[in-house]
Amino acid sequence: MTEVTGELKIQRAEKELITGILSENLTDGNAIGLWRLPNSSKKHLIVCTEGPAQLDELPIEELGTGFVFAPFDSKKQKYFLKANKSCVFEKGEMISNNFIKSSYQDEVPRKLDHSPLAFYQSQLNGFSPLDKGDYIQLVDKSLEQINTGHFEKLVPSRCKKVVLPEQFELIEAFNKLCALYPNAFVSLVSIPEVGTWLGASPELLVSVDHQMHFKTVAVAGTQAVQSDADLKQVAWTQKEIEEQALVCRYIINCFKKIRLREYVELGPKTWKAGNLLHLKTEYEVDMNATNFPQLGSVMLKLLHPTSAVCGMPREASLAFLEAHENFDRSFYSGYLGPVNYENEISLFVNLRCMQWCGHEALLYAGAGVTADSVPQKEWEETEMKMKTLLQVIQS
């Protein structure tokens, strides 16, 4: 009980610090990125005071220090939030801070006035979600296309609208996600004319560490966590194994396109991400040994969107989804994360996420469809994935 009480005190202290800073800086068109990396106790906040850059391409090694927010559609513009101001929180304290001329210079927060923070709000604009019957019909249509040989895999997605409780607060929800999902990338992004997104993504897309080691992962296959499950004994169906193998082959084909043979492959293994289990394989490259300093940018362009979020073959899958999903994915299944921050790049697929719309929110999820898929089970998988955010919203 003492440990739980201590954790609650830490969360409250960090919430007060973050809220106080945002009340001063979430104004005048400033954009913010708040995140916690997997398996870390540090929370990072950057404020972009000069307006986010909108870019067609992302040469991530050349961007400077900041945060990237990119949509699912790779043809649309990506956003780069330069870190004009930044700070780091850990265990209820601010451990670094470059908020010049801020009342937080001495790391002592001013008393909060409890007025709502001015996060940028998305508009629903006549949004009409797929109901269960519509989504199952979309999965059936996907199966027909797969069975006729047009696709190896498709990943139809859906979104649904939920009403937020009166007491719902984005910073508190962010902190709850950090506590519930320690090995996820937890993020809160708010950009003028874009809106505000909150999420806890399990899937790394591209990372480059300070030693110039590149990493990406293949994550696919989904089942609910059983309370007494031994991860070494978890059984996977042929459908789930093949679904994950498709993503692995996709990544290896990207390596082949650039004639890169010197990589390490680790997995697949069962991996726990919050309330769900997945199959995961890791790929690593020593960029110094291969003399490939731009590997991060090159692989980012080749990988996104991966077969884990759209299907195979990629271009045909994108065309099918655009024609039949009947909604704009926007930034769902795009990617986001810090770049050139503490000499590292960490970009994640924007999954297990929600788009904040004031008193309502849109939740997003998709499911990988292969020849062995059962439509009802794919619907249930999307429901399981949406529980990541629903647990926080409804608690």
Three-state SS sequence of 73-90: CCCCCEEEEECCEEEEEE
Q: Collapse the DSSP code of 215 into the 3-class scheme (helix H, G, I; strand E, B; otherwise coil) and give the result.
A: strand
Provide the pLDDT for residue 71: 97
User: Mind listing the pLDDT tens digit for each residue in 178-202?
Assistant: 999 999 999 999 999 999 999 999 9
The answer to whether the bond into 268 is cis (omega within 30° of 0) is yes
Provide the pLDDT for residue 322: 94
Q: What is the DSSP letter of 212?
A: -
Domain that holds residue 335: 132-157+199-390
Provide the pLDDT for residue 106: 44
Nearest to 354 by CA among 308, 385, 310, 318: 385
Query: Which pairs from 340-344 meet CB under 8 Å and 24+ separation?
Result: 340/60, 340/61, 340/63, 340/64, 340/65, 340/66, 341/44, 341/46, 341/65, 341/66, 341/67, 341/83, 342/210, 343/210, 344/207, 344/208, 344/209, 344/210
CA distance 128 to 326: 9
For the chain, how many structural domains are there in total? 1
**Neighbour tally for 176: CB within 10 Å:** 18
How far apart are the two ends of the chain, measured CA to CA in Å? Answer: 19
Residue 65 in contact with residue 73, Cβ under 8 Å? no
Provide the pLDDT for residue 2: 58
| Chain center to CA of 102 | 30
Residue 352 domain-assigned?
yes
Tell me, what amino acid is at 195?
A: G
Residues of the chain with pLDDT under 50: 100-112
Residue 311 in contact with residue 161, Cβ under 8 Å? no
Residue 108 domain-assigned?
no
Provide the pLDDT for residue 40: 96
Provide the pLDDT for residue 229: 74
Residue 357 domain-assigned?
yes
Which segments of 55-186 does DSSP mark as H helices, in order? 132-147, 170-180
**Neighbour tally for 106: CB within 10 Å:** 9
Residue 354 domain-assigned?
yes
Residue 227 domain-assigned?
yes
Provide the pLDDT for residue 98: 79
* CB contact set of 321 (below 8 Å; sequence gap of 6+): 154, 155, 156, 157, 310, 311
Residue 45 domain-assigned?
no
pTM: 0.93
Residue 295 domain-assigned?
yes
Nearest to 199 by CA among 361, 30, 7: 361
Query: Which pairs from 71-77 meet CB under 8 Å and 24+ separation?
Result: 71/329, 71/330, 71/331, 71/334, 72/305, 72/309, 72/329, 72/330, 72/331, 72/332, 72/333, 72/334, 73/329, 73/334, 74/301, 74/304, 74/305
Tokens representing residue 357 in the block: 């719309």
We report the CATH number of the domain holding residue 246 as 3.60.120.10
Residue 174 domain-assigned?
no
User: Mind listing the pLDDT tens digit for each residue in 22-67?
Assistant: 998 898 889 999 999 999 999 999 999 998 999 999 999 999 999 9
